[in-house]
Amino acid sequence: MKYKRLGKILYHIAYSTNYANFTKPTSITFDVTDRCLLHCKTCYKWLSKDANNEIDTSSWKEIIYSLKQWLENYRVCISGGELFLRDDIFDIISFARKHNVYVTAISNGYHIDSTLAEKVIASGLNGISITLNGITPGVHDFTRGMEGSYEKAIQAIDLLNKSKKNMFVCIGTVLMGYNQNEIIDLIKFVKERHVDGITFQALHDTSTFHPFDHNDYFHAEGEWYKTHPLWPKDTHGMLSVIDKIAEYKKKGYPIGNSFISLQWMKRYFQDPKEILKTKCMVGMNNFSVDPYGKVRLCFNMNPIGNILSQRPEQLWTNEKALQQRRAIKTCKNTCRILMCNFDK
């Protein structure tokens, strides 16, 4: 208890001073590819077709090992793009598991047939989140830009859920105007199919990615939500959906969002700028490695360096990281609402 409090104090000192030398990141992510077959309306990654410069299996193993030496016991979330487009993904996952790293994955489920589901289980993966944006093909397929993606996602959830042993299987859903009327049915689906949980992310605009210039100077994103086609037009309806999510959570349905984050989501959908009152903690929490070995604190900013040429602990405390922690504190972007960035 005493150590936990001390950790929290150090964390806040690090945030105020921008010096993170006495803290370590808690949210490690590996985006192992930018490639993806789907064309989601909430993502830009599928525009990348370039697999040539992706780092190879042995480099990922070196990264896993160097993080192990620095962080000892750590958790990593592997994502993309779509991670299952990499032929060596099970080799990477199994290597991490052999070194006692807790590994979870985020997938669109599109490639998970019975053979791949068996490989997922055999790899020792600790948990997987499949994105499902609606309970009908029309809604899910529209948001994912691919006909048939709903059937594939449901198949993936069922196959994994049927044969999972110690692995958890959950659903991730982007909350937006286009699917707000299907959210409660999705929550019921989770319970009926004995899925381990569902977590909601509020819609954020993809066209505002990379709002920082090469000096990490922030360029205002404007009021993107006013013209965004997926932003809820029926604000009142969205607020009552979020209230219902909280009610189902109180009843014991496995909803991953905290009550406080649901409250902030309501404020965000009422007035997106309201969210700027919360701190963005990515400078203290995040250590994201992209398919080319570049490391970022904030996914919108330039890399702080490349893990293939520098030790992770050096990257964490280098001049670029210090400069970016200053920029993060003055950032006026609303993507702090995203679960991985949120401070509450």
Shorter beta-carbon distance to ligand SF4: residue 40 or 186: 40
Backbone φ and ψ for 77, nearest 5 degrees, come out as -110, 120
Q: Answer whether the bond into residue 197 is a cis peptide, omega within 30°.
A: no
Shorter beta-carbon distance to ligand SF4: residue 67 or 85: 85
Q: Which of 161, 173, 201, 341 binds ligand SF4 (CB under 6 A)?
A: 341
Query: What DSSP assignment string belongs to 90-129?
Result: HHHHHHHHHTT-EEEEEE--TT--HHHHHHHHHTT--EEE
Q: Which of 20, 28, 32, 38 binds ligand SF4 (CB under 6 A)?
A: 38
| Minimum CB–partner distance for residue 12 and ligand SF4 (Å) | 17
Q: How far apart are CA 284 and CA 282, in angstroms?
A: 5
**328 scored as a contact of ligand SF4 (CB under 6 A):** yes
Number of residues that bind ligand SF4 (CB under 6 A): 20
Burial (CB count <10 Å: 0-12, 13-18, 19+), residue 220: exposed
Q: How far apart are CA 60 and CA 93, in angstroms?
A: 10
| Under 8 Å between Cβ of 148 and 141 | yes
**198 scored as a contact of ligand SF4 (CB under 6 A):** no
Q: Which of residues 73-132 bind ligand SF4 (CB under 6 A)?
A: 80-82, 108
| Minimum CB–partner distance for residue 331 and ligand SF4 (Å) | 3
| Minimum CB–partner distance for residue 129 and ligand SF4 (Å) | 11
| Minimum CB–partner distance for residue 104 and ligand SF4 (Å) | 15
Q: Enumerate residues 6+ apart whose C-beta is below 8 A from 48.
A: 34, 35, 81
Q: Which of residues 40-69 bind ligand SF4 (CB under 6 A)?
A: 40, 43, 45-46
Q: Which stretch binds ligand SF4 (CB under 6 A): 160-168, 266-274, 311-319, 332-340?
A: 332-340
Say what the alpha-carbon torsion angle 250, 256, 259, 261 is, to the nearest 10 degrees: -160
Q: Which stretch binds ligand SF4 (CB under 6 A): 83-91, 134-142, 250-258, 329-337?
A: 329-337
**143 scored as a contact of ligand SF4 (CB under 6 A):** no
Q: Which of 67, 186, 245, 335 binds ligand SF4 (CB under 6 A)?
A: 335
Q: Tell me which residue of 176, 210, 222 sits closest to 41, measured CA to CA.
A: 176
Q: How far apart are CA 154 and CA 117, in angstroms?
A: 13
| Under 8 Å between Cβ of 101 and 142 | no
Q: Which of 78, 298, 315, 321 binds ligand SF4 (CB under 6 A)?
A: 298
Q: Which of residues 249-288 bind ligand SF4 (CB under 6 A)?
A: 280, 282
- Residue numbers at the binding site for ligand SF4 (CB under 6 A): 36, 38, 40, 43, 45-46, 80-82, 108, 280, 282, 298, 300, 328, 331, 333, 335-336, 341
